[in-house]
Amino acid sequence: MISCKKTPDPNAFASDFPASVSRIWIGPEYWANPMQDWKLEDGKLLCTVHGRNRNVHLLTHKVGAQTGNFKMSVNAGFVGKPGQGNDWIGFKLGARGEFDDYRSDAVFGEGINAGVTASGNLFIGELNAEEQEKTGDGLDVLDRFSLRTTGTRSGDEYAIVLELLDGDDDLVAKTERSYPVAQLMGDVAIVSFFDPGMPNDNAVKLENSAWFQHWKLEGDSLDIHKEYAFGPILFAQHTLSEKVLKMTAQLPPVGEADGKEAYLEVKEGENWIRIAQSPIDAHARTATFKVDDWKDSIDHNYRIAYAYTGAGNEAMEDYFEGTVRKNPVDKTNITVAGFTGNNDLGFPNQDMVANVLKHNPDLLFFSGDQIYEAVGGFGNIEKPLDKAMIDYLRKWILYGWEYREMLRNIPTVSIPDDHDVYHGNLWGEGGKKP
């Protein structure tokens, strides 16, 4: 008798949240909305608030235009009491933002919701449409269950099936609906949607709402973009003046089990030489390097190295590479690209970035308002302090995410203005409280 072992699909995705890690940053394959409302804990992804439309997008895998099918599943559960009848957890399918860019999809993408409500109902699409819900015997399994959705393409439509399974993987309930292919193309995400019972759309209750584990996605209709992974070294900015290099690398909220330092290395021949190291600032999540006697007559390839705990609790090395250009003292004219008022209305401003790079400026100057209070959605928070810092960091990270390809190779000066400190008119109101 011949035993045939199925070859693993190299394009399939399977989450492997490290059990030894407790941290807010999930990993390079994910983007959380908003960052401060999610964390890794005990090998699970936990939503730490009761709030509307909290979601985590998968950056590296999307449903594409090619003919094929897909299948996605996740283990999940409501934390504590399930909540109100229309609170739900589940998936978002075909999520797309306003602009044709994966970052727009991840931050602002909306799509087709599919999940299970706190009253045990399955739904696909509009939650309150009776014909799109199916009442199951799910109330007894809501603390631990599995959701499984499949998309089977036939011509210009997908047949979407959503199944609820109990902890023993037995089917509890099932519902299905068909959609045009175009509506399924885009991001997939997991969602925790809880009404905190407050009139403010951005308000939350600081109580855990849902957990997720073993998120899986596979199929021949998927587009794979490993290059979309983001972090843990998110971006870096540098200046070079009078043979002194100053460089700041930005990291996300890493955990206690992750590296405590980052390293700056330059390439000499075929080798990378470590020339500086820096601790990670506990609040800013930055590593700051200063190198004296920099040889500024030639270009230098650099990289920033950092180690974190990844899948399977293994140490993972991450690198962010770029070039420190020579001092342009031989140029008659110096070109400066200036920026101000960086709201998110055009995020991630990919056309502008491409056009600036064509001009190849010698210096980038950001004159203020690199962020605004509402950047990235979900308003802004001022307390508790730990969440407020992460909320601010999230907005700052969006600035780096859209401009990182310029920042990595071009010296950059950025200064704050009023909105960078959540104030409408800092310089004209005598320090009036926002």
> Domain limits at 309?
235-421
67 close to 221: Cβ distance less than 8 angstroms? yes
201 lies in the same domain as 273: no
Final residue of a domain: which of 228, 254, 272?
A: 228
* pLDDT reported for residue 136: 56
Average pLDDT over residues 98-106: 97
**For residue 148, what are the CA distances in angstroms to 185, 249, 278, 427?**
18, 39, 44, 54
β-pairing verdict for 363-366 and 336-339: parallel
217 lies in the same domain as 180: yes
Q: Is residue 360 part of a domain?
A: yes
- Does residue 379 carry a pLDDT above 60? yes
- Does residue 8 carry a pLDDT above 90? no
Look over the chain and give the mean of its residue pLDDT values, rounded to a whole number.
92
Q: Tell me the backbone φ, ψ of residue 259, rounded to 5 degrees.
A: -60, 145
How many domains is the chain built from?
2
167 lies in the same domain as 288: no
Q: Is residue 431 part of a domain?
A: no
* pLDDT reported for residue 135: 58
For 32-72, the pLDDT digits (tens) are: 999 999 999 999 999 999 999 999 999 999 999 999 999 99
Q: Tell me the backbone φ, ψ of residue 397, rounded to 5 degrees.
A: -65, -35
* pLDDT reported for residue 307: 97
Dihedral sign for Cα atoms in the order 101, 102, 106, 109: positive
217 lies in the same domain as 295: no
Average pLDDT over residues 414-426: 87
310 lies in the same domain as 403: yes
Q: How far apart, in whole angstroms, are the C-alpha atoms of residue 308 and residue 28? A: 11
186 lies in the same domain as 250: no
Q: How far apart, in whole angstroms, are the C-alpha atoms of residue 34 and residue 376? A: 8
CATH number at residue 110: 2.60.120.200
| Burial grade of 159 (CB within 10 A; 0-12, 13-18, 19 or more) | middle
- Does residue 193 carry a pLDDT above 60? yes
417 lies in the same domain as 359: yes
* pLDDT reported for residue 138: 64
For 319-366, the pLDDT digits (tens) are: 999 999 999 999 999 999 999 999 999 999 999 999 999 999 999 999
186 lies in the same domain as 93: yes
Q: Is residue 59 part of a domain?
A: yes
Q: Is residue 434 part of a domain?
A: no
CATH number at residue 386: 2.60.40.10
Final residue of a domain: which of 228, 253, 277?
A: 228
211 lies in the same domain as 72: yes
* pLDDT reported for residue 342: 93
Q: Is residue 320 part of a domain?
A: yes
β-pairing verdict for 70-78 and 88-96: unpaired
* pLDDT reported for residue 305: 98
* pLDDT reported for residue 358: 96
428 or 14, which is more confident: 14
- Does residue 3 carry a pLDDT above 90? no
pLDDT class of 214 with cuts at 50, 70, 90: very high
Structure tokens at 186: 């885009």
- Does residue 273 carry a pLDDT above 70? yes
Q: What percent of the chain has pLDDT over 70?
A: 93
pLDDT class of 85 with cuts at 50, 70, 90: confident
Structure tokens at 130: 């009776």
Q: Is residue 414 part of a domain?
A: yes
pLDDT class of 129 with cuts at 50, 70, 90: low
253 lies in the same domain as 308: yes
Q: How far apart, in whole angstroms, are the C-alpha atoms of residue 304 and residue 235? A: 10
Note if the pTM is more than 0.85: yes
* pLDDT reported for residue 77: 96
Q: Tell me the backbone φ, ψ of residue 402, rounded to 5 degrees.
A: -80, -25
Q: CA torsion, points 425, 427, 433, 434, in degrees to nearest 10?
A: 20
141 lies in the same domain as 242: no
For residue 195, the SS3 value is coil
* pLDDT reported for residue 240: 97
* pLDDT reported for residue 219: 96
- Does residue 133 carry a pLDDT above 60? no
Q: How far apart, in whole angstroms, are the C-alpha atoms of residue 279 and residue 263? A: 9
| Burial grade of 19 (CB within 10 A; 0-12, 13-18, 19 or more) | middle
Dihedral sign for Cα atoms in the order 18, 208, 71, 11: negative
* pLDDT reported for residue 290: 98
Q: Is residue 378 part of a domain?
A: yes
For 216-247, the pLDDT digits (tens) are: 999 999 999 999 999 999 999 999 999 999 99
Final residue of a domain: which of 228, 262, 288?
A: 228
184 lies in the same domain as 242: no
- Does residue 146 carry a pLDDT above 50? yes
Q: Is residue 73 part of a domain?
A: yes
Average pLDDT over residues 17-34: 95
